[in-house]
Amino acid sequence: MNAVKDVKVKNKSKSPGGSKNPIVRSFDKWKAWIYLLPAIILLLIFTVWPIINTLRMSMLVNYNPMKAVGGATFKFGFENFTKVVSYPKFKQVLGTTMLLCVTTVPISTMLALIISVCLNAIKPFKRFLQTIFFLPYVTNSIAIGMVFAAMFNIVGSFLGSSNEAIQSAGIINNMLGFFTGNKDFYINWINAGSSYTSNIIVMIIYIVWNALPFKILILLGGLQSVNKQYYEAAKVDGTSRVRTFWRITVPMLSPMIAYVVITGFIGGFKEYSSIVGIFGDSMGPAGDAGRLNTMVGFIYDAIDSNAGRASAAALILFGIILIVTLINLWVSKKRVHY
């Protein structure tokens, strides 16, 4: 096959008429670059230069681009990295980010897996339910975050002091009150004086709600391509549903599961706008701004004042994402079947 092709090419190159090959003529060599020109110019300015510049800025202590234009010089060294790592705020944002990651990724993956398996097992209303479960994807995470905030919010002039009259404890608290049978029951979820734990619970609920549609889409797509014969064989053998799930469904789906877990972790480490949606720019309940700040928020906070430190933090974030992805790939290589 290759030999035939070679002969053909040789024949063409020998043929008279100037063009060696109908595709590659002297002008054509330039033509590709003309087509690519707009993309390449923009990529050089907004993608390639930032990569180089971020590395450079991270090595210049307390670098500030505006001061640099004014003629200031900056010391070269690793101080940005050591400063960032030793900063108590950094440990706090790293802790919050990791906490949200290790809770939301397993919960949403497990839930999406169960929902997908259930969806795959039914026929009537399947498309309808599938559409409903995809709906949260086509929303604005800030806008719907505001809806969640309204649902968890205590209405009235609740500022955290105990003698204040609460007008409405919010729909979630009302429901909890209804189910626990205690009408006066309420938890201060996100208002002033709320605890870190309750803030995190609200964030986990919102992030999981937001993460489900994509995971269901991928997992259901994978399920539909699993060969039905495996299930029929299991049925003939009288295998229980639970066993079928763990021994057939999960192994057959393992590549898709690995995919949603990896993208879930990458997205989780970049969590930011869902928190802005619920808590606003202050990234925390009233009176405790920045309490729920994340890695990305930390980078943006430093972007104006100290680009050097922001660059160092961004590179650390990149490093963490890379390591987590590699670990995930390593684990899935051992676990993913076929």
Partner 1 sequence: MAKKNTDLIMHDKDIRAVKGKARIGEIAAKTLIYIFLTVMAVIVLFPFYWMIISSLKSLEEYRLTVPTFWPKTFHFDNYANAFSTANLATLFKNTVIVGVISTILSLVITVLSAFAFARLEFKGKNVLFAGLLATMMIPGELFTITNYATVSQLGWKSTYTVLIVPFLVSVFYIYLLRQNFLQVPNELYLAAKVDGTKDLKYLWKVMIPLSLPTLISITILKMMGAWNSYIWPRLVANDLAHRLITNGLRNAFQDTSGNTDYPVQMAAVAIVSFPLFLVFLFLRKYIMKGVSRSGIKG
Q: 143-172: which residues touch partner 1 (CB under 8 A)?
A: 143-144, 146-151, 153-159, 166-169, 171
> Distance of CA 108 to CAs 205, 216, 251, 307, Å?
10, 9, 18, 35
Q: 52-71: which residues touch partner 1 (CB under 8 A)?
A: 53-54, 57, 65-66, 69
Query: Interface with partner 1 includes 279 (CB under 8 A)?
Result: yes
For residue 234 the two structure tokens come to 């299991």
Compute φ and ψ for 167, nearest 5 degrees. -80, -50
Number of CB atoms found within 10 A of residue 109's CB: 19
3-state SS class at 70: coil
Degrees to nearest 5, angle at CA 96 with 276 and 280: 15
To which residue do tokens 């049978």 refer? 181
Stretch that binds partner 1, among 6-14, 129-137, 223-231, 328-336 (CB under 8 A): 129-137
> Distance of CA 279 to CAs 189, 191, 302, Å?
11, 9, 20
Cα gap 74→77, rounded to integer Å:
9
Among 285, 292, 293, 301, binds partner 1 (CB under 8 A): 285
CB of 276 to partner 1, least distance (A): 7
Are the beta carbons of 214 and 260 closer than 8 angstroms? yes
The 3-state secondary structure of 112-141 reads: HHHHHHHHHHCCCCHHHHHHHHHHHHHCCH
CB of 322 to partner 1, least distance (A): 8
Query: Interface with partner 1 includes 277 (CB under 8 A)?
Result: yes
Q: 196-235: which residues touch partner 1 (CB under 8 A)?
A: 209, 212, 214, 217-218, 221
CB of 91 to partner 1, least distance (A): 19
Binding residues for partner 1, rule CB under 8 A, total 109
Among 42, 323, 326, 331, binds partner 1 (CB under 8 A): 42
Q: 289-328: which residues touch partner 1 (CB under 8 A)?
A: 296, 299-300, 303, 307, 310-311, 314-315, 317-318, 321-322
- Nearest residue (CB) to partner 1, 158 versus 252: 158
- Nearest residue (CB) to partner 1, 211 versus 252: 211
Q: 2-41: which residues touch partner 1 (CB under 8 A)?
A: 21-24, 28-29, 31-33, 35-36, 38-39
- Nearest residue (CB) to partner 1, 24 versus 72: 24
Cα gap 316→332, rounded to integer Å:
24
Among 2, 26, 47, 180, binds partner 1 (CB under 8 A): 47
Stretch that binds partner 1, among 4-12, 89-97, 126-134, 247-255 (CB under 8 A): 126-134
For residue 4 the two structure tokens come to 């035939």
Compute φ and ψ for 24, nearest 5 degrees. -95, 105
3-state SS class at 192: coil
